[in-house]
Amino acid sequence: MPKLNQVNAIVSGRKAECEKAITEMYKLIQKDQLFNGRERTYRPTDEVNGQKQPPESQRVQQRADDLIRQAVAKWAELWNLIYTQDLGNQQAKADVIVADKVLLLQVPVTFLLFLDKQVNDLETFISKLPTPDPAEEWSHDANSGLLRSKSTESLRTSKEPTVIVKYEATKDHPAQTELFTKDVPVGTWTQILYTGSLTTDRKNAILDRIKKLQEGVKLAKEQANMQEVERQKIADALFAYVFGV
């Protein structure tokens, strides 16, 4: 008996072959002239002196029964194969095992296929979550449930005008001065940063477990697909009914 993974490997190819063949036959059955033929002979009234005409004929190029047989053969092969695959999918199951621990018991292969994609989506989601600025030192704040940085202080300054005397006044010349502004400390800012992002260590730990889960799901999927399946033949009964055989 073939294994389910062997059946899965040929399904898509058989589907494409069947679709192509049926499409070509469908084009043919819409051309009525291919199914019609004729033979025509001419006999003049005056068989001695009358003008003779060569016989004419048109060959029948397609037979409906032939096309039915060809179409039925293609469909029967595909239907039997898909039924074998679906029946195998119902029977194929495997455990999801991660780090020698059974997380899920006897999971159907159809769900394993679904879960495989979902876990990949989970990995993408977690990998995009932000992490705190590594330049800061963070700790958990019990009151807010957020990460909190150490407090930092910075001066607040104000620009104040200041006049400097470049040259003192003399009896002949007035003093030369220049007006400029300087930053004068007027207070102190105390700042604490908060973030709701995921710590780098926790994010990496989650991603590591997701990787192991991905491996476990893939192994379970492979194990389930090793299920032996008996080839099914259900198409004959269906076509026998359709064509009244």
Shared-domain flag, residues 151 and 86: no
The string of DSSP letters for the chain reads --BHHHHHHHHHHHHHHHHHHHHHHHHHHT-GGGG--EEE----SSTTTSPP---EEE-----HHHHHHHHHHHHHHHHHHHHHHHHHHHH-EEEEEETTEEEEEEEEHHHHHHHHHHHHHHHHHHHTS----TTS-EEE-TTTSSEEEPPEEEEEEEEEEEEEEEE---SSSPPEEEEEEEEEEEEEEEE--EE-SPPHHHHHHHHHHHHHHHHHHHHHHHHHTT-B-PPP--HHHHHHHHTT-
Shared-domain flag, residues 7 and 69: yes
| Torsions phi, psi for 92 (to 5 deg) | -75, 120
Q: Report yes or no on 218 lying in a domain.
A: no
Q: Report yes or no on 220 lying in a domain.
A: no
Q: Report yes or no on 110 lying in a domain.
A: no
* Contact status, residue 2 vs residue 228, Cβ threshold 8 Å: yes
Distance in Å from the first CA to the final CA of the chain: 30
Amino acid in position 84:
T
Shared-domain flag, residues 188 and 242: no
Shared-domain flag, residues 185 and 241: no
Shared-domain flag, residues 66 and 6: yes
Query: Between vectors from CA 135 to CA 132 and to CA 137, what angle results, nearest 5°?
Result: 70
Q: Report yes or no on 205 lying in a domain.
A: no
Q: Total structural domains in the chain?
A: 2
Shared-domain flag, residues 242 and 189: no
Q: What is the pLDDT of residue 214?
A: 97
Q: Report yes or no on 81 lying in a domain.
A: yes
Q: What is the pLDDT of residue 169?
A: 73
Q: What is the pLDDT of residue 87?
A: 95
User: Measured between alpha carbons, how far is 185 from 225 in angstroms, rounded to an integer?
Assistant: 74
User: Measured between alpha carbons, how far is 151 from 193 in angstroms, rounded to an integer?
Assistant: 8
Buried b (16+ CB within 10 A) or exposed e, 156-185: eeeeeeeeeeeeeeeeeeeeeeeeeeeeee
Shared-domain flag, residues 3 and 82: yes
Tokens representing 52 are 């003779």
Shared-domain flag, residues 2 and 59: yes
Q: What is the pLDDT of residue 70?
A: 96
Shared-domain flag, residues 189 and 243: no
Q: What is the pLDDT of residue 1?
A: 85
Q: What is the pLDDT of residue 117?
A: 97
Q: What is the mean pLDDT of each run of 10 residues along the chain (245 residues)?
A: 93 96 95 94 90 93 94 96 95 96 96 97 97 94 94 90 77 77 89 95 97 97 94 95 90
Quote the domain boundaries for residue 188. 138-195
Shared-domain flag, residues 26 and 85: yes
Q: Report yes or no on 204 lying in a domain.
A: no
Tokens representing 14 are 């058989």
Amino acid in position 107:
V
Tokens representing 69 are 């047989």
Q: Report yes or no on 172 lying in a domain.
A: yes
Q: Report yes or no on 107 lying in a domain.
A: no
Shared-domain flag, residues 1 and 85: yes
Shared-domain flag, residues 189 and 242: no
Q: What is the pLDDT of residue 174?
A: 78
Amino acid in position 200:
T
Tokens representing 183 are 């930053």
Q: What is the pLDDT of residue 180?
A: 80
